[in-house]
Amino acid sequence: MGASEQGGQEESGTYEGGCHCGYIKFSVTLSPPLPEYTVMNCSCSGCFRLGYLLVYPKAKDVVWHNDGRKRCASYRFNTKTKDQMFCPKCGTSIGIDFEAVHKEHTYGISVRALYGINIDELNYKKLKGVTRVEPAYDLSGHIWDEEKQEMR
């Protein structure tokens, strides 16, 4: 069963997170809280290579400290519509900004970027993204154009 409800309101939990070096910091509120949340473990080439284990808060539930979102570097591949957010100083993968894709602005935040979380104690849903997310093949190494020395 999902999160406990008290007085008609779903329980939530707020978590602090950021990159390894501390340049990017944020807090995120999740409903249900992490012990009851189902974390997405996707096998698409992006999630696999970037180490994402994702939760999906609405943008209003993410508070970026010290302009943390503006400090994120971005990488776009495939549809070139989603920012894969990471720290330009230490390289930590933060997650995905779905602003241009979803009707309601949503983030995919990697639980690996949350402080003090034991990822072995979380509940996961596995998604075979490498065979189900279009294009359904591994895009690793197919983005960089060697001849032009630029991203395709």
| Residue whose pair of structure tokens reads 């997405």 in the numeric block | 40
State pTM to two decimals. 0.81
Residues in the chain: 152
Residues 55, 108: contact at Cβ < 8 Å? yes
Which residue segments constitute the domains of the chain, with CATH numbers given? 11-132 (2.170.150.70)
Q: Which amino acid is at 126?
A: K
Query: Which tens digit of pLDDT belongs to each residue from 16-26?
Result: 999 999 999 99
Query: Which tens digit of pLDDT belongs to each residue from 52-97?
Result: 999 999 999 999 999 999 999 999 877 788 899 999 999 999 999 9
The DSSP element (H or E) to which 14 belongs, if any, is strand 13-18
